[in-house]
A and B are shown apart, each in its own frame.
Chain A
Amino acid sequence: MMRMRGANWGRKYKVQNYQNGHAYLTSHRVCYVAAEDPRKYSVAIDLKELDRVESQAGFLKSSPKLTIYPKPQKKKPENPRSATASPAVSHQLSLHSTESLAHSSQPNLPQTSASPKPINATWICPICTFSNPVPSNFDPATASAATHLPPCLACGIKPPFTTVLKAAISTATSREPPLPTSAPSPAQAQDIVQSNSSWSVGPGGSTPCPRCTFVNHPSLAECEICGAPLAGGSSGSANRVDSPAPLFEQSHIANTEVSESIKLSFRAGGDKTFYERLKGALVQRKWLLQNAPPVPSPSQASSSPGLSSAVSVESPQPSVQRPTGVGIAGLERRGLEARKKNELVIGNSFEDLEALMASAKQIVALAETLARESGMTTSEGSAETSAVLSESAAALGMVTTKDMLSSGSETLYLSELARDLAEFLTDDRKGILQREGGIMSLIDLWAVFNRSRNGVELASPSDFQKAAELWEKLKLPVRLRRFKSGLLVVQRYDWSDEKTIGKLQDWIGELRRVPPDDPVPWDWSLFGQAITAQEAAHRFKWSVGVAAEELEMAEDKGVLCREEGIEGLRFWYNYMSLSPDSDDFSRLTI
């Protein structure tokens, strides 16, 4: 988005109230926001409506300008042929005044294409003198002798090209505005228009034809006799404020159907950047990918009459009256609006993420091709390619993600994930494994690991397990171990059951030396005390699940035995099989 001061909205004349503001460029629109009263005097045009943009450097006191040409309208309401239900005279007047502004082509500029619709023009057939309309697609600027011309409607003879061209040009020039300060225009045209204005308010509202002087019914757009367009005179030259531009109501801007160009004057600079960006935006055509957010309707529609959303060149949308929300319905609607807005914002931000991801894929693809081109044949070197690729990915500081790599390199993803995990586990700064007493369940690790990825690019459980199974193959300093119950745990490679049992036995020995806090019905110096998984977890900083598994492992080895009671499962030193058989009565005989 660009910010700059000063924008002209209009063609030749400075438009009142649009003289000081900021111009914004978005991916979908060019906007002008007035510095004062922006709710009222702000306009926008969709980029998809733009035909081309021209830049004009500043010269002396003239500020640099950007001229924006919208695409020609397909249908024009004031086209006499299409206007079957012609509007009221007053409306027509306003329309024509707008049109006169819009069509105010500069005579010293050769771009006659700016008025590409000489539809009101007629040419006189040299054979039968019937006045035929110039075809609507006839453009004097581009037309040549090869252009297809329709034959005379009366006699069917094709007209010579020059006749039509002359007629078109003369009509185009005759439509120039009859303003005193404008470039000298043919007096004849002025006369016509002036006579128009004088006739425009005819007696009884009827309209005299400017060509054959037949007085037509006011609702007609064309002369009944000769077919000439009945133009209401341009009456908008009465009041001028600070610029010799016609003063017109805001609603006229809203109805500017035929605004042929928009000029932005950059009084405070920034034109070059804006021009470059605008050109770039027109090339990128982002609006094709995504619908533009709706034009925000001003919150108080009543205070800005006629300038809701209709200033853009597209057909004027009726400003949707914002229904006044009362009660629960109003609250619900407001909630709906807020949700829509949130969706939009979230959608936009994820678009950026996806773009980033797409470029990551490209980088990986590039690395792959580079590796291939550097002499490695694909047959023998897929593993090498993977290695190179993983190295380059590591060099880029990227955490391995599944999306980054194509689906074909599953093994690469898994081995990278395995390495990531091993690094993550053995990192002394984090001390994950130490904090867990040197052993933790795979599920806990999975949770911690995914949490550390901040919720993006999470590793799936199955990938996680597969990666963990690769540790041994990759000779990483961590190992996956499966307990008897199927619980998977992660531990250091030098961890062993004997170490665990040694620790447990030390602990139990301690308990046999220290009398218990409460008197117990058994001989504590002989049996010691029971230990639970919770106590073991607390003592060795294991998780409870791991502690339970380790205790059962020790039981499995015959070191411990269990006691199931109302307190739950408790473990004891295996007095039954490890103590001397002092109480074996079976061999005693009398």
Chain B
Amino acid sequence: MAARKSERLLNLLITLLVSRSYVTKERIRSVVEQYRDAGDEAFEKMFERDKEELRSLGIPVEVGYVDRAFEDEPGYRVERAAFELPQIDLEADEAAVIGLAARVWQHAGLASATSDALVKLKAAGVSVDRGALNVAQPQLAVEEPTFEAFWEATRSRTPVAFDYRTAGAASATTRHLEPWGVVSYNGRWYVVGQDTDRGAPRLFRLSRVGGAVRHDGRPGAFEVPEGTDIRALTESLAPPAAAHTARLLVRRDAAHGLRRHATPAGASGAGADAVPEGWERLEVAYGRTGGMADEVLGYGADVVVEAPEDLRALVVDRLRAVMATGAGATAGAPR
């Protein structure tokens, strides 16, 4: 029964916690009722499992020798300093911030980890009143099923292998990674680490990982290089930020989505043609040429690229490609 087991686990913990020195198995058996009443074999099994259950709660059950002179009798203890949450005194507004933070994760596992942390802080005497602060709460959503596996592998420094499909690739390839960190960048989750196939740091988008994340070594098998800055590394490996500017002709009252990040073109475009009636000239900053071409194409005849030339050429190529597919598919099409 759960209650009986809870009782046993708690009594075991108290025994190990209040003792100043390591407690022998024999002594443990004599003071915990359910161990005392069990047969030898049943006791051994129960005790092994119970120790592991305590450890799984994060309780540091240490093993040592009761008498250093005779290293034949191992004992157990829980050192108070390693067990207890240190003193933490939070002001009312700080406690309120913690309360808000506990609602940020939109992921079952991490939301429950934050509420467990919150319960511990309440147990340390902190009173949480979320109403004390009026702060916008961002929400961290995690929908990639592999998130937890990468988080855990990062935590335990376990090399992993997984199937990964890059943009546009038809099939996945198996990649091997020493995960250094898990990062959310522009609303997408990535894992960053040493790609052992390429021998260099790489960034992988979690949504492109197919299937399960497999362990590919032992926990603690690698170290994150000293001085690694996960944020700086991510920024250097992530798709480039807006470094180019496109000059576009945009039909009035059209391309509203594009207008949200466009600015009117300055008069600096010396030699630029006059803007046709019913059109405007706008500028948009962009990172990848392909991505910008995608956006322009989505507006069809309402947006025309004037510059730069590579973007203009790409848009024209793609429009021709669309027409080519159309011709094949629609034999006998009008016009």
The finding on whether chains A and B are genuine partners in a shared complex, rather than unrelated, reads: no
